[in-house]
Structure 1
Amino acid sequence: MTEISLQNAIAQNDKWANSRSLTAVFVGGTSGIGEYTLRSLAAHYGKSSQSLSLYLVGRNNDTASEIFNDCRKLCPSGKFTFVKASDLSLIRDVDSASEEIKKLVSDAKAEKGTPGCIDLLVMSHADLHIGGRRETKEGLDKTMSMLYYSRMRFAINLMPMLRASQAAHVISVFGAGLEQIKDWDPQDMSFRDAKRYNMSRARTHVVVMKTLFMEKLAVQNAGKVAFVHLFPGVVITPAFGNQDLPGWFRAMWTVAKPVVRYAMAISPEEIGERILYLASPALPPRDAPSATEKESTRPVTSTDGVLGGGAYACKHDAKTIDLISKYKGLKDAKVDEEVWDHTMTVFQQIETHGIFKD
């Protein structure tokens, strides 16, 4: 897909907000990109006659209440619900939050006499960390769990309700296209080797596994769910002010921030609109009934090279990222199967024993 202008993205968002009621789940939306997106969503549905139900998963109830107060002014008819999760790097907390979401959605839909479904899942939870490996109680690196394992667990847990939608989208915000295959180590997917660990290599492991795992999910859920991995560009969020960051980084950022803001930063308002656009029919589920029509005017290529293939890597302007040559060697070596098996083993061991050991 070629890049989409902000004006066209806003127009498309207005169009689909007027075309369907929406049940959305935001994970990590109490600050930063997730917050900006849900505010944009509330604004569009405030102009629409369609209903909006939004579930926000996060740690801070007070912050969520402030956001919801603003959203209710934008969309008085919307239903906004907070789901508390203490630590989203822990699979057990992901599972607890997922169960609560499923119950809340089912109960809400039952009141209306309709089956429970989720139309949009947006995941942006992370903590900006510059440093070494941090192991969670479940035996995973915290950064990798936040950016990969917990996100894929949410997708799997909520898949029955996503499949119940007419056309659902799962959007994960991180570093699509930034992987360096030279940093990939198939013998240490969960990155236990602290001596090799750094932010760049961890990013490659996250992006490679997410790309290959989403491709599998797209095939398994053809016609039902589209999966989008987004590189949002430079968006100045509160994470840059995290006091846990090294002093040298905070000092450098103080100097660089005005220049970055002027030269390359994407505004909160724009990134919110951009992410909503990725949930439109322009990026359809694999083999979706509307895919042929869309392809005739604007071909959209999945990360596996299939038009309308259901798993997409995009820049903030919706331009899809060509990853075919980058992943050819990995797929020839059946790394996609290994990633799937590894991930499901991680989930099974944590579910059964509380920790991943192998």
Structure 2
Amino acid sequence: MVNLQAIQAHNAALKSLAPGLVAVFGKFNVLQRTPAENILALEAECPRCKGSPLPYLISFGGTSGISLSTALAFARHTLSPKIYLIGRNQSAADTAIASMKSINSSAQPTFLQTDISLLKNVDSVCAEIAAKEKKLNLLFMTPGYMTLKGRDETAEGLDRKFVLHYYARMRFIVNLLPLLTVAAQDSSVKANARLSRVVSVLDPHVSVRAGGSGKLNFSDLSLKHTFSLKNCGAHASLMGDFFLEGMAQRHPHTSFVHAYPSGVATGLMREMPAGGVLAAVLTPLLSAFMVPIDESGERHLFAATSERFPPKAEGEGMEGDVAVGSDSTKGSGCYWVSWDGEVFPANKKLGKTREEGAVEKVLQHTEEVFKRVCEEGKTYP
């Protein structure tokens, strides 16, 4: 475990980076359930709780929870950062922006309001960012959809939860990689001070928890015919795992992190139906098992900026404290990081899925979805 004091010391040193980092933060939590379903949904979404040059940052889902706490930490520890918050709630965004300005008067936060459960909207907001910025240092993603409703297709033919947990995130990556690449190769910044990183917060090991198989249904990756909430959770996690591995191979100057937050006291229960009552009852019981929201922000900022997680071009053959990548190669450029700052150990089930061609198959499928929906304007499939 990386202790909190070491993480805070690392984050405090970020002021030594060039001013004006650019970051995008995204969070998009949607809740659909009856009051009686709240506890079941909490257990499903939080396994740990069950039974117990300018810096630029883009964060969608950045107006509350983990994304906001990380954005606030980013604002606190960097000089003149440009921060894009992507979400739906204007009033929450106004509050978040006021908090950032109170922490760092030189911060330049911007809210972009959109519904990213539709890929066409992802394309639109990415185009808006690209029109304003020449580079991007950090893309930080936490969008989610808590529901027990079952498959809920959008107008594009994809399940809404699956879109927010997987397809929208990967579309952001594809669209914004040109800006991330510029940041990675910025000659005005010393090589050891460059930052070009993608962080997707979900859970890289959810598919193997509680005896899960860690397998993908390669004949129905979009789950059009075999959808269940369990399958959706496993597929979103696994496909995120292997898509990020593929991106690290294709784009060796940017690093990619799939982060597990564990149980975090985000206040999300208060947003649910009857959530105030649930929060009052459950928060004291669960607090011992949850990561405080401010600590979570500091820890996720560490995952988003630490030199322990370098891009492939720098990491392979690099000496010192360099993390082992998701494919068991030191400095591979793709890292599956737990809440405590350590990488997950190799897992035989996930290794077998990788050997079955998961990286190539997931990349191919995702590109096919993007071509049909985003380029041809059709529903999938």
Name the TM-score, length of structure 1 as normaliser. Answer: 0.87
User: 1:89 deviation in Å?
Assistant: 1.2
Q: What pairs with 1:1-358 in structure 2 (closer than 5 Å)?
A: 3-21=1-19, 22-45=55-78, 50-85=79-114, 87-105=115-133, 116-165=134-183, 166-179=194-207, 180-181=212-213, 184-193=216-225, 196-198=227-229, 200-222=230-252, 224-243=253-272, 255-261=281-287, 263-278=288-303, 279-288=305-314, 292-293=317-318, 296-358=319-381
Specify the code of the residue in structure 1 equivalent to 2:99: D
Contact 1:172 1:229 in 2 (8 A): yes
| Alpha-carbon spacing, 1:276–1:182, altered in 2? closer, same or farther (3 Å) | closer
Partner Cα separation in structure 2 for residue 236 and residue 193 of structure 1:
35
Specify the code of the residue in structure 1 equivalent to 2:221: M
Specify the code of the residue in structure 2 equivalent to 1:157: N
Partner Cα separation in structure 2 for residue 132 and residue 251 of structure 1:
26
| Alpha-carbon spacing, 1:92–1:301, altered in 2? closer, same or farther (3 Å) | same
User: 1:338 deviation in Å?
Assistant: 1.2
| Alpha-carbon spacing, 1:352–1:298, altered in 2? closer, same or farther (3 Å) | closer
User: 1:149 deviation in Å?
Assistant: 0.4
Partner Cα separation in structure 2 for residue 97 and residue 76 of structure 1:
26
Specify the code of the residue in structure 1 equivalent to 2:336: A
Contact 1:137 1:355 in 2 (8 A): no
Partner Cα separation in structure 2 for residue 68 and residue 121 of structure 1:
18
Partner Cα separation in structure 2 for residue 339 and residue 241 of structure 1:
36
- Deviations along 1:94-126, whole A, 9 cap, x unmatched? 000100111122xxxxxxxxxx11001100111
Partner Cα separation in structure 2 for residue 250 and residue 70 of structure 1:
24
Partner Cα separation in structure 1 for residue 330 and residue 378 of structure 2:
39
Specify the code of the residue in structure 2 equivalent to 1:219: Q
Q: Aligned with 1:233: secondary structure?
A: coil
- Which ranges in structure 2 are unaligned for 5 or more consecutive residues? 20-54, 184-193
| Alpha-carbon spacing, 1:352–1:52, altered in 2? closer, same or farther (3 Å) | closer
| Alpha-carbon spacing, 1:187–1:240, altered in 2? closer, same or farther (3 Å) | farther
Matched with 1:111 is none
RMSD: 2.0
Partner Cα separation in structure 2 for residue 33 and residue 129 of structure 1:
19
- Deviations along 1:127-156, whole A, 9 cap, x unmatched? 222331111111111111001100000011
User: 1:82 deviation in Å?
Assistant: 1.3
- Deviations along 1:297-317, whole A, 9 cap, x unmatched? 324111111110011111111
Greater Cα offset, 118-127 or 172-181: 172-181
Q: Aligned with 2:144: secondary structure?
A: coil
Give the aligned length.
Answer: 331
Specify the code of the residue in structure 2 equivalent to 1:134: D
| Alpha-carbon spacing, 1:66–1:254, altered in 2? closer, same or farther (3 Å) | closer
- Deviations along 1:142-183, whole A, 9 cap, x unmatched? 111001100000011000000111330100111121113356
- Which ranges in structure 1 are unaligned for 5 or more consecutive residues? 106-115
Q: Aligned with 1:287: secondary structure?
A: helix
Specify the code of the residue in structure 1 equivalent to 2:224: R
Partner Cα separation in structure 1 for residue 231 and residue 346 of structure 2:
18
Partner Cα separation in structure 2 for residue 134 and residue 239 of structure 1:
21
User: 1:240 deviation in Å?
Assistant: 2.5
Q: Aligned with 1:204: secondary structure?
A: helix
Specify the code of the residue in structure 2 equivalent to 1:214: L
Q: Aligned with 1:154: secondary structure?
A: helix
- Deviations along 1:49-105, whole A, 9 cap, x unmatched? x321111111122221211111111111111111121x1111001000100111122
Contact 1:227 1:311 in 2 (8 A): yes
Matched with 1:108 is none
Specify the code of the residue in structure 1 equivalent to 2:11: N
Partner Cα separation in structure 1 for residue 256 and residue 242 of structure 2:
11
Contact 1:127 1:239 in 2 (8 A): no
Q: Aligned with 2:145: secondary structure?
A: coil
Name the TM-score, length of structure 2 as normaliser. Answer: 0.82
